[in-house]
Amino acid sequence: MADVTDIVFRDFVLRHSRPDVVYTEFVACKALRSPKIQEPFMRLLGYSERERPIVAQVFGSEPADLFACAQQIRAWGFDGLDINMGCPDRRVEKQGAGASLMRDPQRAQALIQAAKAGLEGLPLTVKTRLGYHTIETASWIGTVLAAQPDVLVIHGRTRQELSEVPAHWDEIARAASMARDAGVLCVGNGDIQSREQGEEYAQRFGVDGIMIGRGVLGNPWVFAARTKRSEPEKLAALAQLITQFSGFWKAAKNAGLLKKHFKVYVDGFPGSTTLRRELMATRNSTEALETLSRYFDRNGWIFPAMVYEQIVLSTGCSRLPDSLTERV
Ligand SMILES: Cc1cc2nc3c(=O)[nH]c(=O)nc-3n(C[C@H](O)[C@H](O)[C@H](O)COP(=O)(O)O)c2cc1C
């Protein structure tokens, strides 16, 4: 998820529960090709060895870009490449990438073929939706499958629906059946909130795997069996996330990005409205941690921040170029 699942967030989640595969944030293929702007984008593709298997997600619209990008991703040691064919963001669509590829099936197929050639056997996954304006499972998913990616990840909504209606799991089941016939693995995505729900849906709708997006927000335990956590456990996790984020990125990333996490961790318990308001008013990570620490004191809980200094130090990031690692 863009602006969420960076190396720090993934490391943080993996300390609480483990999915079988993780995906990076997405990156423009073109940016990876141009030496001038390559470096800032590399921040999006840093990963540590303990995250494996890890798939890099990219978007693009030119087969030549996809080919070059696939070679680069292979050289950087990723375990797979994913092409985004579902993002509804206008800036992505304007480039002929993301969801707009559903309206240009020939190009979509050419991109898959170019990526496969560049990957030289490394797995290719394609993440897409059910259609553009309307559900077009038979034609659109048929188009993707004909180009034979290794994995189809299907978000069960159309581009038009954004995330505003419940995911159509019956259509995901149709896509999964088509994928099975085509010898392609199928991963279902949409509204999964727990491992148990994911396992049940996988069985019920016949998918080979489940992808969880928003379910990990406020719940880094989502990939484990028991996911109900107490208020101090959740707030301690938030303190850990803030500490890891600021310790790793320092000034390289705006701490304002943490505010979306304040909203989801500080919710649904007595006093959460006041604490959330206080956190939203903080100007940096230190103030946020101080606010949490005071709250722990008031409740007689032990604040865990010191413990996490060790965690910050041990966050690995082996695949960023040295020049960049020094800067962040
Ligand atoms: C903040 C945010 C950022 C996202 N960024 C991406 C992205 O970069 N690539 C992508 O394939 N999907 C992205 N998505 C979509 C999710 O991966 C997922 O398909 C969608 O949220 C439905 O699944 P869920 O109900 O498990 O969240 C994003 C979603 C959110 C909420």
pLDDT 10s per residue in the chain (328 long)? Answer: 999 999 999 999 999 999 999 999 999 999 888 877 777 777 788 899 999 999 999 999 999 999 999 999 999 999 999 999 999 999 999 999 999 999 999 999 999 999 999 999 999 999 999 999 999 999 999 999 999 999 999 999 999 999 999 999 999 999 999 999 999 999 999 999 999 999 999 999 999 999 999 999 999 999 998 767 899 999 999 999 998 898 888 888 899 999 999 999 999 999 899 999 999 999 999 899 999 989 999 999 988 755 445 444 444 444 444 444 433 3
From the list 29, 69, 87, 186, the catalytic residue is 87
Dihedral sign for Cα 152, 158, 164, 166, please.
Answer: negative
Residue boundaries of the structural domains of the chain: 7-216, 231-327
Q: Closest Cα to atom 30, ligand 1: which residue?
A: 1
Q: Is 201 in the pocket of ligand 1 (CB under 6 A)?
A: no
- How far away, in angstroms, is 162 Cα from ligand 1 center? 10
Which ligand 1 atom sits closest to the C-alpha of 167? 25
Whether 25 is in the pocket of ligand 1, judged by its Cβ within 6 Å, is: yes
Cα of 216 vs centre of ligand 1, distance in Å, is: 11
Residue whose Cα lies nearest atom 29 of ligand 1: it is 1
CATH number, domain 7-216: 3.20.20.70
* Nearest-atom index, ligand 1, CA of 4: 1
Q: Report if pTM > 0.75.
A: yes
How far, in Å, is the centroid of ligand 1 from the Cα of 23? 11
